[in-house]
């Protein structure tokens, strides 16, 4: 499986310092800090609900698109069994320096090899993915592969940009540009200080249909708001419409 859309240059290596969750809090870029302060608490709560649902003391979790590894590290501290995967070799290198050696880290190549060998088939209780799916055009292939890695009653839990956030961001000319539509955006670019990355926007109905076709039921749809403390502490200037649509689906 190609985990991400192929590009001529792996832009995520260049963006590793922008999504620098491995650094001290006062050095973290707001684009990364929003994941930590707004998205992660929702993820932690849903993961704990999943642990209670399964009636187990621990969980086997894969963070798909793990970046520089801080979320893997946080999950490990909660006594979960953790694996992380990222296409960016630079982010995996940083992760290896910051997480326990009991956390299994995969490059794109080693992840594809593990999938082909069936070692990961029905291995995980939870698969998480924070702002990863929207950078991929081949989302149907990715979703199908990831669901195959879940145990029965396992959940996939992820965050993507809602359309309303994109619409508002286009109106105020923040980050997003060159979209196919300003009223119903589905494809365009995120401009990270000159590094332009293609972005694919899907709504909840799209994901419902996709995961229902993969024999999953929906267990969560939530749009966490920015907190006043986050807006103040990080001098947030972007759209105030929630930048995360957090969805979770349970495999039958």
- pLDDT above 70 coverage of the chain, percent: 90
185, part of any domain: no
Read off the pLDDT of residues 20-30 as tens digits, 9 standing for 90 and up.
666 666 767 78
Whether 60 is in a domain gets the answer yes
Q: Is the Cβ–Cβ distance between 114 and 31 less than 8 Å? A: no
Q: How far apart are CA 218 and CA 251, in angstroms?
A: 9
The residue that leads in pLDDT, 20 or 121, is 121
Domain of 85, CATH number, reads 3.40.50.150
Higher per-residue confidence, 10 vs 218: 218
> Could you tell me the residue range of the domain that residue 245 belongs to?
11-162+203-251
Q: Is residue 167 part of a domain?
A: no
User: Would you say residue 181 lies in a domain?
Assistant: no
Q: Give domain status of residue 31, yes or no.
A: yes
**145 contacts: CB under 8 Å, gap ≥ 6:** 1, 115
Distance of alpha carbon 116 from alpha carbon 119, whole angstroms? 8
Average of per-residue pLDDT across 175-193: 95
Check pLDDT > 60 for residue 1. Answer: no
Q: Is residue 50 situated within a structural domain?
A: yes
> Is the pLDDT confidence value at 148 over 50?
yes
Share of the chain above pLDDT 90, in %: 76
Q: Sign of torsion, CA 17 21 22 23?
A: positive
In angstroms, the CA 154 to CA 59 distance is 10
Across 171-191, average pLDDT: 96
What mean pLDDT value characterizes the chain? 91
Predicted confidence at residue 185, as pLDDT, reads: 98
| Predicted pLDDT of residue 90 | 86
Q: Is residue 192 part of a domain?
A: no
Structure-block tokens of residue 33: 């800090």
Min mean pLDDT across 88-102, 124-138, 216-230 is at 88-102
> Which of 247, 152, 172 shows the shortest CA–CA distance to 204?
247
Number of structural domains found in the chain: 1
Average pLDDT of 111-126?
A: 96
**DSSP string for residues in 108-154:** HHHHHHHHHTTTTTT-EEEEEEES-GGG-S-HHHHHHHHHHHEEEEE
Angle at 213 between CA 162 and CA 204, to 5 degrees: 15
For residue 240, give the 3-state DSSP assignment.
Answer: coil
**For range 41-55, the mean pLDDT:** 98
Neighbours of 70 (CB within 10 A): 23
In a domain, 65, yes or no: yes
Place of tokens 């939530």: 222
233's torsion region: left (phi>0), alpha (psi -120 to 50) or beta?
Answer: alpha
Distance (Å, rounded) from C-alpha 227 to C-alpha 37? 9
Cα–Cα distance measured from residue 61 to residue 85, given in angstroms and rounded to the nearest whole number: 11
220 Cβ neighbours under 8 A, 6+ residues apart: 46, 157, 246, 247, 248
pLDDT band at 5 (very low <50, low <70, confident <90, very high): very low
- 3-class DSSP state for residue 75? helix
| The pair of three-digit structure tokens given for residue 252, joined into one six-digit string | 């039958």
Tell me how far CA of residue 148 lies from CA of 31, 166, 185, in angstroms: 31, 31, 30
Which tokens sit at 74?
């946080």
**What's the average model confidence in pLDDT over 23-38?**
80
Residues 19 and 199 sit within 8 Å (Cβ to Cβ):
no
- Report pLDDT for 23: 62
């Amino acid at each position: 499986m190609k985990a991400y859309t192929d590009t001529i240059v792996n832009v995520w290596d260049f963006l590793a310092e922008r999504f620098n969750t491995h650094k001290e809090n006062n050095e973290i870029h707001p684009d990364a800090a929003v994941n930590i302060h707004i998205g992660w608490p929702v993820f932690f709560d849903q993961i704990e609900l999943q642990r209670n649902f399964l009636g187990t003391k621990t969980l086997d979790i894969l963070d798909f698109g793990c970046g520089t590894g801080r979320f893997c590290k946080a999950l490990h501290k909660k006594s979960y069994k953790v694996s992380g995967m990222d296409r960016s070799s630079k982010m995996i290198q940083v992760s290896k320096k910051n997480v326990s050696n009991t956390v299994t880290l995969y490059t794109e190549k080693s992840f594809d090899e593990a999938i082909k060998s069936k070692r990961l088939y029905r291995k995980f209780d939870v698969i998480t993915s924070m702002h990863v799916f929207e950078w991929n055009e081949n989302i149907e292939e990715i979703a199908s592969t990831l669901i195959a890695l879940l145990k029965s009653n396992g959940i996939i839990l992820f965050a993507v940009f809602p359309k309303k956030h994109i619409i508002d961001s286009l109106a105020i000319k923040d980050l997003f540009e060159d979209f196919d539509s300003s009223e119903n955006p589905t494809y365009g670019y995120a401009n990270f200080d000159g590094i332009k990355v293609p972005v694919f926007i899907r709504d909840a109905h799209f994901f419902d249909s996709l995961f229902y076709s993969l024999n999953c039921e929906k267990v969560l749809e939530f749009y966490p708001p920015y907190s006043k403390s986050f807006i103040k502490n990080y001098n947030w200037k972007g759209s105030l419409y929630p930048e995360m649509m957090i969805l979770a689906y349970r495999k039958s």
